[in-house]
Amino acid sequence: MENNKNLSRAKEWYLEAINSFSYQSTNNQTGERISFPVSFSEVQNARRLITEIGKLSVQDASFQNDLNSLKDICNRAVKRKLRPSWAMLISVLVWSIVNVFIAQDDIFLRLEGFHNAEQADSLYNEEKKYLQARIEHYQNKIDEEDSAEWLKKFNERLQTLNAKSPDEFLDQKNGEIKDKAKKELMGAGASLVLLGLYLFAVRTPMFLIYRRRKQVEWNMERGYTPGIINSVFAALIAIPVPEAKMYTVEVKYTDGTSEVKTQIESGAGMLAAKWGLILLAMFLTFMVMLYLLPFAIIYKYLRNYQYALFYRISKSFSRKS
């Protein structure tokens, strides 16, 4: 009798846990309706009820199978899967690849310095000839706007060069090359670090993935657009391009004669404009994604890894109220 009473109470708590899950889905293989949690609070509530059920020591085998399934749902809900924004991921990948490609070009040679001692005199003389040519150029155009300013700058550079020996100028050039190589190497390293941090931050717990699925299904049922970026590109791709047309035109001249000419309207201008807008949208998306990358990393990390902290904070506020 006591066992039946405990089983009845356990089933009530089990149903309470299942019904508290906000996302309802269907198993494609069995057609069975399945419930999933969409927040950490729903997971914790279900785990609390599972703990209470365990205290009842119910021995019913069928119910134990249902209870184990509920435990699996809760355990799976806090496991993480990689869920990046594809626009952000592609932008960061392209940025990282470009930085690495630029940095790796003769990197070891550039870090040592391109030029050797035998090149000191030739480099010095080439720089001197270049500066003298620029000075002569702006002296001939002294009346033009900004010519006086440029003339002053090149004269100062020539005076600085004359104060140096060829060996000192060689050290300066090699130093500039080394500094540039180091900056490019640091830029490549920073882009790879940010890429790694982003991939780490977007490892999303399943209950948030369930929440996203629920939102997508809700939007699809009401015909809402799937997002700003997708909507913009869908609108640009949907721009109609007129098909090529061939038609004849009768041209009448002042002497009374006429001529029939064949003209073709290809629609190439509209097609070029359409692809120009698409490429512009891609470039702007790329720049916006890179600008938002640090903020996205912080936001995704807090959302995907610190949800337990925010849950405890909300619980403490709810107890105070």
pLDDT at 159 > cutoff 80: yes
pLDDT classification of 169: cutoffs 50, 70, 90: confident
d(CA 200, CA 304): 10
The pLDDT value recorded for residue 263 is 65
d(CA 131, CA 43): 73
Which residues span the domain enclosing 97? Answer: 86-191
The pLDDT value recorded for residue 226 is 66
The pLDDT value recorded for residue 166 is 83
Is the domain of 47 the same as that of 138?
no
Which stretches of 176-281 are assigned E, i.e. beta strand? 203-205, 245-252, 258-265
Is the domain of 58 the same as that of 31?
yes
Is residue 226 a part of any domain in this protein? Answer: no
Is the domain of 61 the same as that of 110?
no
Is the domain of 25 the same as that of 102?
no
Q: Which among 9-18, 22-31, 197-206 has the top mean pLDDT?
A: 197-206
The pLDDT value recorded for residue 319 is 61
Work out how many domains the chain is built from and give that number: 2
pLDDT digits (tens, 9 = 90+) for 213-246: 888 887 777 777 667 787 888 888 888 877 766 6
Is the domain of 164 the same as that of 116?
yes
Average per-residue pLDDT for the chain: 84
Is the domain of 93 the same as that of 178?
yes
pLDDT at 5 > cutoff 60: yes
Is residue 160 a part of any domain in this protein? Answer: yes
Residue at which a domain ends, from 78, 107, 125? 78
pLDDT classification of 320: cutoffs 50, 70, 90: low
The pLDDT value recorded for residue 51 is 92
Is the domain of 138 the same as that of 173?
yes
Arithmetic mean of pLDDT, 297-307 = 91
The pLDDT value recorded for residue 293 is 94
Is the domain of 118 the same as that of 182?
yes
Arithmetic mean of pLDDT, 170-190 = 86
Is residue 248 a part of any domain in this protein? Answer: no
Which amino acid appears at position 190 of this protein? A
The pLDDT value recorded for residue 247 is 66
pLDDT digits (tens, 9 = 90+) for 116-139: 777 778 888 888 898 888 888 888
Stated length of the chain:
321
Is the domain of 123 the same as that of 178?
yes
Is the domain of 17 the same as that of 110?
no
Partners of 280 in the beta sheet?
Answer: none
Residue at which a domain ends, from 60, 78, 96? 78
Residue at which a domain ends, from 78, 110, 126? 78
User: pTM value?
Assistant: 0.77
Is residue 182 a part of any domain in this protein? Answer: yes
How far, rounded to the nearest angstrom, does the alpha carbon of residue 48 sit from its chain's CA centroid? 38
Is the domain of 40 the same as that of 92?
no
User: DSSP state, 248?
Assistant: E
Task: Of 208, 219, 223, give the one whose Cα is nearest residue 302.
Answer: 208
Is residue 94 a part of any domain in this protein? Answer: yes
Task: Of 140, 161, 160, 163, give the one whose Cα is nearest residue 150.
Answer: 140
Tokens 């299942």 belong to which residue? 18
Is residue 112 a part of any domain in this protein? Answer: yes
Is residue 268 a part of any domain in this protein? Answer: no
Is the domain of 159 the same as that of 99?
yes
pLDDT classification of 286: cutoffs 50, 70, 90: very high
> Which range, of 44-58, 147-161, 213-227, averages the lowest pLDDT?
213-227
The pLDDT value recorded for residue 37 is 93
The answer to whether residues 159 and 128 touch, using CB atoms and an 8 Å cutoff, is: no
Is residue 146 a part of any domain in this protein? Answer: yes
